Amino acid sequence: METIRRTKIVDLLKRRDFGAMVNVKGWVRTRRGSKQVNFIALNDGSTINNVQVVVDLANFDEDMLKQITTGACISVNGELVESVGAGQAAEIQAREIEVLGVCDNTYPLQKKGHSMEFLREIAHLRPRTNTFGAVFRIRHNMAIAIHKFFHERGFFYFHTPLITASDCEGAGQMFQVTTMNLYDLKKDENGSIIYDNDFFGKQASLTVSGQLEGELAATALGAIYTFGPTFRAENSNTPRHLAEFWMIEPEVAFNDINDNMDLAEDFIKYCVQWALDNCYDDVKFLNDMFDKGLIERLQGVLKESFVRLPYTEGIKILEEAVAKGHKFEFPVYWGVDLASEHERYLVEEHFKRPVILTDYPKEIKAFYMKQNEDGKTVRAMDVLFPKIGEIIGGSEREADYDKLLTRIQELNIPMKDMWWYLDTRKYGSCPHSGFGLGFERLLLFVTGMANIRDVIPFPRTPRNAEF
């Protein structure tokens, strides 16, 4: 074959220099046609759109043509021509074809619809489908948008550790990291494991959040964000939970709860706008194929301010709904940690737009949140979204050393793990706030996918660590 520089299909489809000789390489989606002429739909992953390759059968070797099956990888030299058929402006009249990789009929992605459950069983091949190509291109774009948003506002990207030795709150939900022989664990007379010979000389786990370390950084660099994998060993087999997921956690010195809410709203609107501006073809495909209201919902989030609602008011609204006959699976009362159905009622039925719920009871929130004067509530804020429920959780942090110490003692959190965190309140403490956004929850919203396992390439869930 003559050597012509490859053009990506995303760029080729924009070209109008008809008559030019071009080269494309990619995977065959479909091949159809008559005895004289065939049409190959070729995709190289750069765009949701395929390029049509027109093959005049008389000009090609029959044995080679037999190898051009769904899934095969080919290189095509040909002439860029104006398309007569509907659906594309440009196509390629093939002059030379080389088969780079054959694909036999055991290939599981033959031309027919596949269920999401089936595609999870072949997660190593599912990026080749239109759906997952779209999802993973959007995932990349959202990561770019996140870095761009914070960089443009003077935040610093701060890397917090993935392995941590603090077993503060919720140690049961942490994955342990060890080099010890699990068949021969040394124990003391009380039956407790001795970690002296372990790699770190103490119990270590995978991180559930970079927040505490992020706070340290904010009290030095002013405004930081983390963006990395986090791990939760919760046995939650739901469409909204993963054992390994990515988190974005900004932390900002001198921000109070109101600044924190402003930041969360600006941030999420920026990301949604970015998706509409930069991934429109992919978003439109997902809208048309899976979720007819997707684009409308994305645009809806952009056009209105989020409702800011104290928890106590939210409970009143939910209690009124119950009084009027609305059925919730879980009970509603002041002090309850709201279930997803409650959050979605407020967003989808009552206000019909995103809601930021504030001032939660301190009992259901973490020890580091700033307490309000009423002694009962804390300056927490959760951003609730249609179809998802909570997408962001954050708070103004407790900056007072004595109040934080008292709360740590009340909750029996081991001091050996918290001394370094308390130091930030001892040495030049300042008001500061932050939040966490689960990256996959954002992607669920932007893609319209129904299950969180379908917005991460290789989902890690209870009893599942394939590929």
Give the model's pLDDT for residue 169.
Answer: 45
Give the model's pLDDT for residue 171.
Answer: 47
Residue 15 tokens read as 């070209």
| Residue pair 54/82 in contact by the 8 Å Cβ criterion | no
Q: How far apart are CA 200 and CA 165, in angstroms?
A: 8
- What sign has the CA pseudo-torsion 59, 64, 65, 66? positive
- Half-sphere exposure (Cβ direction) of 405: Cα atoms closer than 13 Å: 10
Q: Does residue 263 surpass a pLDDT of 80? A: yes
Across 330-385, where does the E strand assignment appear? 355-361, 377-385
Dihedral pair phi/psi, residue 33, rounded to 5°: 145, -165
Q: How far apart are CA 320 and CA 316, in angstroms?
A: 6
Nearest to 390 by CA among 434, 445, 349: 445
Supply the pTM of this predicted model.
0.95
| Residue pair 254/466 in contact by the 8 Å Cβ criterion | no
Nearest to 368 by CA among 334, 404, 326, 335: 404
pLDDT in tens, 431-456: 999 999 999 999 999 999 999 999 99
**What is the distance, to the nearest Å, from the Cα of residue 107 to the centroid of all Cα atoms in its chain?**
29
Average pLDDT, the chain: 94
| Residue pair 421/164 in contact by the 8 Å Cβ criterion | no
For residues 169-179, average pLDDT: 77
Give the model's pLDDT for residue 290.
Answer: 94
Least confident residue range of 258-267, 271-280, 411-420: 411-420
Q: Is 45 left (phi over 0), alpha (psi -120 to 50) or beta?
A: left
pLDDT in tens, 378-415: 999 999 999 889 999 999 999 999 999 999 999 888 88
Q: How far apart are CA 435 and CA 81, in angstroms?
A: 52
In this structure, which amino acid lies at residue 322?
A: V
| 221 vs 197, higher pLDDT | 221
Beta bridge partners of 371: 378
Q: How far apart are CA 55 and CA 92, in angstroms?
A: 9
| Residue pair 48/128 in contact by the 8 Å Cβ criterion | no
- If pLDDT is split at 50, 70 and 90, which confidence band does 165 have? confident
Q: How far apart are CA 346 and CA 306, in angstroms?
A: 12
